Amino acid sequence: MGPICTQVKSVDELIAKVFPNLPENYQNHRWLCERATLAPKNNVVNVINTQLLQQITGNTQCYNSVDSVPDQTQVVNYPPEFLNSLEPPGVPPHCLSLKVGAPIMVLRNLDSPLLCNGTRLAVKKLMPHVIEATILSGCGKGEDVFNPRIPLTPTDTPFEFKRLQFAIRLSFYMSINKSQSQTLKVTGLQLEEPCFSHGQLYVGCSRVGNPKKIFM
């Protein structure tokens, strides 16, 4: 049995293997939707997504969420600054930084079957209250759609709060769990932090059919 992947020596080499010549290629939607790098935890995903965003041209637009607690008697215990710092799984960050051309992933079922949880898109136009994007995967591939801000209520926090934000996040890198619906041709696995389970490792490796196109 041959190797299940191609090993690399550093994170920089991993990125270069999965996203070669990113500044020149990211506007090619077919190229973009065929590749992603996976990691077990969102903290790694967020850091590298931010780094890769800086490699593509254009101005960065930051969309800040509006966070609140429904119970007004709890406002003093959970001020906006504290709520802004939270980023539960499956919820976009308070400050969502984007550029035109960047790949993004939908985090909620917005308009089935076109915009479902896990659908990948490329940003086409950034406007104050809506984001226009082109669908990269799924049944609506190639269609342009509009993404509005929506209220999001996390389910796995010890108290209830609401975040008004676009239900998307950058997807150069994505968590292994979020990759389960994806079919890729080139993928990287950044496992500096161990996987939660053998099943997670299997999910990461099974996104690509050719082991020569899996980099770890």
Q: Give pLDDT tens digits for 134-192.
A: 999 878 999 999 999 999 999 888 899 999 999 999 999 887 776 666 778 888 888 76
Residue 169, beta-bridge partner list: 105
Asked if 52 and 22 count as a contact pair (C-beta separation under 8 A), the reply is: yes
pLDDT in tens, 121-132: 999 999 999 999
Place of tokens 């101005």: 59
Residue 100, beta-bridge partner list: none
Kindly state the DSSP code that residue 18 receives in the 8-state scheme.
Answer: H
Say yes or no to pLDDT of 193 above 60. no
Question: Looking at residues 110-121, what average pLDDT do you find?
Answer: 89
Q: Which pTM was predicted? A: 0.88
E strand intervals along 86-143 = 95-98, 103-106, 120-126, 130-135
DSSP codes of every residue in 136-155? -SSTTTT-EEEEEEEEE--S
- Position 185 scores a pLDDT of 85
Pick the more confident residue, 207 or 101.
Answer: 101
